[in-house]
Amino acid sequence: MPCDVLILGERAGEEESRRGYPFCGKSGKELDRYLLEGGIHRDDVYCTNLCKDFLKGNPDPTPDEIRRDEHFLIEELKTVRPKYIGLVGRFAARYFLGGDLEMDWSHGLPFVSSQGRFRMMPLYHPAFGLHSASMTPLVWSDFQAFCRMVRGASGSADHLIDTCPDPQYMLLTDYSRELFSLIFHGRKNPTLIYMDTEGSAEKPWGLSFTFGIGEGYVVLASDKEWLSAIADYVKWNGVTVVLHNAFHDIAVLRSMGIEGFRFTDTMVKAYHLCLFPQGLKPLSRRLCGMVQDDYEDVIGEADKEKKIQWLIEVHNWVSNHWPEESKTPLSQKIRKGSGRRLERTSQTVARTLKPLGARSRPQL
């Protein structure tokens, strides 16, 4: 029969399998409580699972199992015709919203189906609070948001819109008082400066900072004039430096001569709120709609080039010291600069050098 609200779990548990309906037992009582606190009665909700069977140990659903039972879910959707779907757990969420969706940024946020047929929201499992008390605020918050969406009090998908799709970055070089004044004093009494560091206290690379949305500035650790000017500014102008993971950043800033400033830490705030992810990428995605590249994606090409260059240097060194051992198909591949199957090539180089016995490996 039709029902406006559908809750989709991942797999039937032992008690669910024995009693014949989803979300019963302890987890069912938790679900009932969270829904009632949000103003929705369990009798007004249709509950089901991606996988209908129970397996000992309650393992994660596999793609084959999901495909196996998919036709049951499709029939349920046709029969129930829900307007709102609560996606309990990452497998239920990924089934509708994509295989790379992460719960840490998406839970408790509304999504709209591609054809606009219904609104969906990823939810942490109501039983999580039974296993970990620290999860209780997240679960409660999720179901409160879901119930507000159902009641029509909320449901905007604004979090899917990047609040700053085209930010402008500037590498600061050739220090001048005019440019410094334009950046730091050409504003109406800024009270916050947002700052991040790259590198380590032992080997700092530099810092980036901004005063607001849409702009950012980068200063290298070798640029002493800019660093000195920034150090004086944050120390004597009464601004608060906003950091994310200050325990790391403060040490790096100190190694670049920037210290003695007032600061606040968004990672610590996220930790104490118990409602937000602590990682900067999921936090930015959740609050600002900003999709940040992974570190590996940013350095990927440069990392690949350095690996190839290292292999070429290894080959050249071995060729000069042990010409006979280096006359292999591997040497031809490296000479041509091929970057394909780089990991396998690295292992082959290691095997090539291993038979050299007591001779030391080259120091490159």
φ and ψ of 256, to 5 deg: -100, 10
Average pLDDT of the residues in 183-204? 91
Average pLDDT of the residues in 7-18? 86
Q: Is a pLDDT exceeding 80 seen at residue 353?
A: no
Of 153, 150, 156, the C-alpha closest to 5 is 150
Give pLDDT, residue 264.
97
Q: Is a pLDDT exceeding 60 seen at residue 178?
A: yes
- 260-301 pLDDT, tens per residue? 999 999 999 999 888 888 888 888 888 888 887 777 777 888
Most confident of the ranges 13-27, 131-145, 166-180 = 166-180
* Residues 319, 328: Cα–Cα separation, whole Å: 10
Average pLDDT of the residues in 153-170? 77
Helices 224-236 & 177-184 angle (0-180, nearest 10): 40
Average pLDDT of the residues in 217-244? 96
User: Contact, 309 vs 315, CB < 8 A?
Assistant: no
Q: pLDDT grade, residue 12 (50/70/90)?
A: confident
Give pLDDT, residue 107.
93
Say what percent of the chain tops pLDDT 70: 87
Q: Is a pLDDT exceeding 70 seen at residue 66?
A: yes
Give pLDDT, residue 123.
96
